[in-house]
A and B are shown apart, each in its own frame.
Chain A
Amino acid sequence: MSALVNGTSRKVIRILGKDGSSLDRLSKRLGLSLSIEEMKLLQEYFAGEKRDPTDVELNAMAQAWSEHCCYKSSKFYLKKYFRDLKRDYVYLAMEDDAAVVRLDDEFSYVLKMESHNHPSAIEPYGGAATGVGGIIRDILCMGAQPVALVDSLFFGAPEFPGNRTSMSTRSLFSGVVAGIRDYGNRVGIPTVSGSIYFHPSYNHNPLVNAGCLGIIRTSNVIRSRISKTGYLLIIAGGRTGRDGIHGVNFASRSIAHGRDDSRSVQLGNPIVEEPLIHAILEASDHGLIEGMKDLGGGGMSSAIGELVHAGGVGAKIYLEKVLLKEEGMLPWEIWVSESQERMLLAVHPDKLGDIGEIFRLWDTEFSVVGETVEGDRLVITCDGEKVLDLDLEFMTSGLEYQREAEESNSPRKTLLPKEPADFGSLLISMLSDPNIGSREPVVRQYDHTVRGSTVKGPLSGNPNIEGPSDSSLILAQVPSGISLALTSGSRPLLISADPANGSKYCVTEAAMNILSSGAVPHSVVDCLNFGSPTDRHVMNELIESIRGISEACRDLSLPVVSGNVSLYNSYRESHIIPTPVIMMVGLLDKPEKAVRQHLSREGKAIFVAGNLVSSLNGSLYEYSRGIDPGNIDPPDMDEVRALLSRIPGLVQKGLIEAMHDVSDGGLATALAEMCLGAGIGMRVDIGSTGYGTPAQKMFSELGNRMIIVADPSNEEIIRKGLGELRFTRIGTSGGRELEILHNGVALANISVDSIRKAYGGALHALL
């Protein structure tokens, strides 16, 4: 394969003097996805330069102004609501490719989450795999060792059969899971946590959000910028090909043509990424890298532009030096290609020999593609011919919109559903719901123990009969012995009912999941998935959701350290329900204090901490009856704060044997899940958990309730430790049945075996 671009050259594209409609036609014909107004801005700029742009310049600008690269619809609100949420232990938030947060005196953790929704809709296997590969490189480019992956997945209705433009839920689901499995397992980073959710609004727009956590010695952090001139710009790892051209432009509009957009799909090769990780970390250990970025959405164009502009220098690039997968690629194709497994490094010329030796040792290809220069312009040549000459400020600063927003005024009714006739069979049917049931058929495909630092994985219980785990724990393998708790997920039904309050619940649930493992929440990453921002109601959902996340994080003193926005998740005129995903990291100083979610012994006391919210709004119970969610009141943040400040002390004293938070499916589902891990049942009376109907007590998903299992003799110490919090003993573990009573009247009595059968089979039909 030749590294040269043979006989191809730039094309000048006439835009000066053209009217709006011909500019619009041009944007469509070249696949730029730019609006008329944006094309006019370009026209204005090039009028100032007194020339027409080249094809390379137009494509570079289309990429720089895409929603994916410059967050044009969301930037204003992200700044407004997240800027002042910093804590002093956060070293880098929202600045570089990933966030850096203090772990102890010597080490930091690095984290980031990104969406890979549009590619996964077209090619689920490749799209999901490259989502994993990309997020690993985001962590790697800070110089950190990736240690754990999480992924939150959202699919259409399980029975959706697909149509001419969209794949069936079954194909998408199995393809995405296989992609994550094959990339994560082969590259040797454990996939430890995440979520899976089904709803018809995702039928044509599945969501694949991948997150990664890394560990780094703080003094070794490599910034995503280069501020010195005379440094070499190197691209290492995979070669550049035609795969993934216009990927980010494609992500900035709705899916209309379905699978015809195949050129926007990138394919992954974990066998290239694995040695690349080693090579980069070794070069970083030797202090050979001055600045680094990964090549993700936007390819070289956005990576090089941002790297040099952030440092205040210019750059010269020689496109003929880029290693290519195939011959005959045009300059603009090389410049905007989103081929995978590539890293951009700024290296001092004296260190080229040393870094070259490391790359050769790891069998990793690289080439010097340019250098940093004085000034603020980016100049690209190809075989001596100038193909791009742009002002970096203009190229990378991007646009910022405050689009119109309007609250949806569809009336909300609060209906009180009828009490069920048979609580037992209802509970069984809820446990077998694809949104509740066991994730084991998926989780078992992921290697969650590779690297040997997984203290607690995605399952909790004895081998082969495990139940779910609320969050995973990863040993940081640093001298202080600290471990990190990880969780990620969303509450789409609550958020679709009330974007602000639902998003608050999204944050509190993540915090409760971290707390269930005994850890203390420490930092938050958000991945905001919404419909088209040109729809006012969607824009309102986005703004309200950001506000909700911001307020909840402020109430809990949690910093939002990094984030990602994915818009245009729509098909024809219908949008996905608003889906902000919250990835949260917590700290636990001693891994041996980790708390599990399952009942491991008989004769233990079962308590509920926190108040009942006697409303079924936004619950699966209502949803499965076809009732639209009514009003959602905000979570009681004082109560969450009290739980977060008081429970960790009890964990440190070893007083808590198991914990599980009440969320999807309500208290009854949570209790049933706790019976699975050791096959031990329980007898509980939920009458005294608050004021409400038996159905509300069993199935309400609101509030902040934690089920706590402890030795009966410790009841008073725990009650004292929890202070003013409502704390009710509801029963005792034992037997092989889950027996639920309400003020002495039996509501349900189901065997642990029947729970296992219903819960365990929920996803089998889909894989």
Chain B
Amino acid sequence: MTVIRVEVTYRKGVEDPEAITITRNMKILGYSSIGNISISKTYEITIDGSEDAEKVVREISEKILSNPVIQSYKILS
């Protein structure tokens, strides 16, 4: 049993409306020191066996978990 974490983020230069809205609202609430917020999503994947685990995770990250046009992924552990 292996546990692998994958982080999916927007590519540089891609606008994330949710992050922009949160940043703006923080400023409205008075947190003037906040410059920028970015949001990413982490998947924690439990997988049977360990031999092919990273290969499988890489494949689903590329094909399913991320949209390569606007997102990139990183295998964390």
B residues 1-49 touching A (CB-CB < 8 Å) = 12-15, 17, 20-21, 24, 36
Known: A269-B20, A271-B21. A325 touches B68 (CB 8 A): no
Q: Which residues of A contact B76 (CB under 8 A)?
A: none
What is the minimal beta-carbon distance from A687 to any residue of chain B, in angstroms?
Answer: 56
Q: Which residues of A contact B12 (CB under 8 A)?
A: 326
A residues 1-38 touching B (CB-CB < 8 Å) = 1
20 contacts between A and B (CB under 8 A): A1-B36, A122-B69, A123-B67, A242-B13, A243-B13, A243-B15, A259-B68, A259-B69, A262-B69, A262-B70, A265-B69, A267-B15, A269-B15, A269-B17, A270-B17, A271-B17, A271-B21, A325-B15, A326-B12, A363-B24
Q: Are B70 and A265 in contact, with the CB atoms below 8 A?
A: yes
Known: A243-B13, A269-B15. A126 touches B70 (CB 8 A): yes
Q: Are B13 and A241 in contact, with the CB atoms below 8 A?
A: yes
In the complex formed, the residue of B with least CB distance to A269 is B17
What is the minimal beta-carbon distance from B23 to any residue of chain A, in angstroms?
Answer: 10
Q: Which residues of A contact B17 (CB under 8 A)?
A: 269-272
In the complex formed, the residue of B with least CB distance to A242 is B13
A residues 251-290 touching B (CB-CB < 8 Å) = 259, 262, 265, 267, 269-272
Q: Are A267 and B70 in contact, with the CB atoms below 8 A?
A: yes
Known: A269-B20, A271-B21. A262 touches B13 (CB 8 A): no
Interface residues of B (CB under 8 A from A): 12-15, 17, 20-21, 24, 36, 67-70
Q: Are A262 and B15 in contact, with the CB atoms below 8 A?
A: no
Q: How far is the CA of A126 from the CA of B67 in the complex (A)?
A: 11
Q: Which residues of A contact B69 (CB under 8 A)?
A: 122-123, 126, 259, 262, 265
What is the minimal beta-carbon distance from B57 to any residue of chain A, in angstroms?
Answer: 21
Q: Are B20 and A262 in contact, with the CB atoms below 8 A?
A: no
Q: Which residues of B contact A271 (CB under 8 A)?
A: 17, 21
Q: How far is the CA of A406 from the CA of B15 in the complex (A)?
A: 46
Known A241-B13, A267-B15; further 14 A-B contacts with Cβ < 8 A:
A123-B67, A123-B69, A126-B70, A241-B15, A243-B15, A259-B68, A262-B68, A262-B69, A269-B15, A269-B17, A269-B20, A271-B21, A325-B15, A326-B13
Q: How far is the CA of A363 from the CA of B20 in the complex (A)?
A: 13
Q: How far is the CA of A270 from the CA of B18 in the complex (A)?
A: 11
Per a CB cutoff under 8 Å, which of B14, B20, B68 touches A243? Answer: B14
Q: How far is the CA of A757 from the CA of B15 in the complex (A)?
A: 43
Q: Which residues of B contact A262 (CB under 8 A)?
A: 68-70
Interface residues of A (CB under 8 A from B): 1, 122-123, 126, 241-243, 259, 262, 265, 267, 269-272, 325-326, 363
Q: Which residues of A contact B70 (CB under 8 A)?
A: 123, 126, 262, 265, 267
Secondary structure at the A interface, as helix, strand, loop or mixed, is loop
Per a CB cutoff under 8 Å, which of A269, A325, A363 touches B13? Answer: A325
Closest A-B pairs by Cβ, 6 of them: A269-B17, A262-B69, A242-B13, A123-B69, A326-B13, A271-B17
Q: Which residues of B contact A241 (CB under 8 A)?
A: 13, 15
Q: Which residues of A contact B15 (CB under 8 A)?
A: 241, 243, 267, 269, 325
In the complex formed, the residue of A with least CB distance to B67 is A123
Which of A243, A267, A363 has the most C-beta atoms of chain B within 10 angstroms of its own C-beta? A267
Q: Which residues of B contact A326 (CB under 8 A)?
A: 12-13
Q: Which residues of B contact A259 (CB under 8 A)?
A: 68-69
Which of B15, B17, B36 has the most C-beta atoms of chain A within 10 angstroms of its own C-beta? B15
Q: Which residues of A contact B14 (CB under 8 A)?
A: 243, 267
Q: How far is the CA of A269 from the CA of B67 in the complex (A)?
A: 18
Q: Which residues of B contact A123 (CB under 8 A)?
A: 67, 69-70
Q: How far is the CA of A582 from the CA of B14 in the complex (A)?
A: 34
Q: Which residues of B contact A1 (CB under 8 A)?
A: 36
Q: How far is the CA of A325 from the CA of B17 in the complex (A)?
A: 12
Q: Which residues of B contact A126 (CB under 8 A)?
A: 69-70
What is the minimal beta-carbon distance from A361 to any residue of chain B, in angstroms?
Answer: 14
What is the minimal beta-carbon distance from A350 to any residue of chain B, in angstroms?
Answer: 31
In the complex formed, the residue of B with least CB distance to A363 is B24
Q: How far is the CA of A123 from the CA of B68 in the complex (A)?
A: 10
Q: How far is the CA of A26 from the CA of B67 in the complex (A)?
A: 31
Q: Which residues of A contact B24 (CB under 8 A)?
A: 363
Q: How far is the CA of A482 from the CA of B21 in the complex (A)?
A: 39
Q: Which residues of B contact A272 (CB under 8 A)?
A: 17
What is the minimal beta-carbon distance from A37 to any residue of chain B, in angstroms?
Answer: 33
Q: Which residues of A contact B21 (CB under 8 A)?
A: 271
What is the minimal beta-carbon distance from A172 to any residue of chain B, in angstroms?
Answer: 13
Q: How far is the CA of A325 from the CA of B14 in the complex (A)?
A: 9
In the complex formed, the residue of B with least CB distance to A126 is B70
Q: How far is the CA of A618 from the CA of B66 in the complex (A)?
A: 42
Q: Which residues of B contact A363 (CB under 8 A)?
A: 24
What is the minimal beta-carbon distance from B19 to any residue of chain A, in angstroms?
Answer: 11
Q: How far is the CA of A267 from the CA of B21 in the complex (A)?
A: 15
In the complex formed, the residue of B with least CB distance to A125 is B67
Q: How far is the CA of A715 from the CA of B17 in the complex (A)?
A: 59
In the complex formed, the residue of A with least CB distance to B28 is A363
Q: How far is the CA of A430 from the CA of B54 in the complex (A)?
A: 47
Q: How far is the CA of A163 from the CA of B21 in the complex (A)?
A: 36
In the complex formed, the residue of A with least CB distance to B24 is A363
Q: How far is the CA of A395 from the CA of B67 in the complex (A)?
A: 37
What is the minimal beta-carbon distance from B59 to any residue of chain A, in angstroms?
Answer: 15
In the complex formed, the residue of A with least CB distance to B20 is A269
What is the minimal beta-carbon distance from A266 to any residue of chain B, in angstroms?
Answer: 10
In the complex formed, the residue of A with least CB distance to B68 is A259
Q: How far is the CA of A122 from the CA of B70 in the complex (A)?
A: 10
Q: Which residues of A contact B36 (CB under 8 A)?
A: 1
Q: How far is the CA of A271 from the CA of B22 in the complex (A)?
A: 12
Q: How far is the CA of A122 from the CA of B14 in the complex (A)?
A: 15
In the complex formed, the residue of B with least CB distance to A272 is B17
Q: How far is the CA of A363 from the CA of B14 in the complex (A)?
A: 21
Q: Which residues of A contact B13 (CB under 8 A)?
A: 241-243, 325-326
What is the minimal beta-carbon distance from A751 to any residue of chain B, in angstroms?
Answer: 41
What is the minimal beta-carbon distance from B11 to any residue of chain A, in angstroms?
Answer: 8
Q: How far is the CA of A8 from the CA of B13 in the complex (A)?
A: 17
What is the minimal beta-carbon distance from B48 to any residue of chain A, in angstroms?
Answer: 27
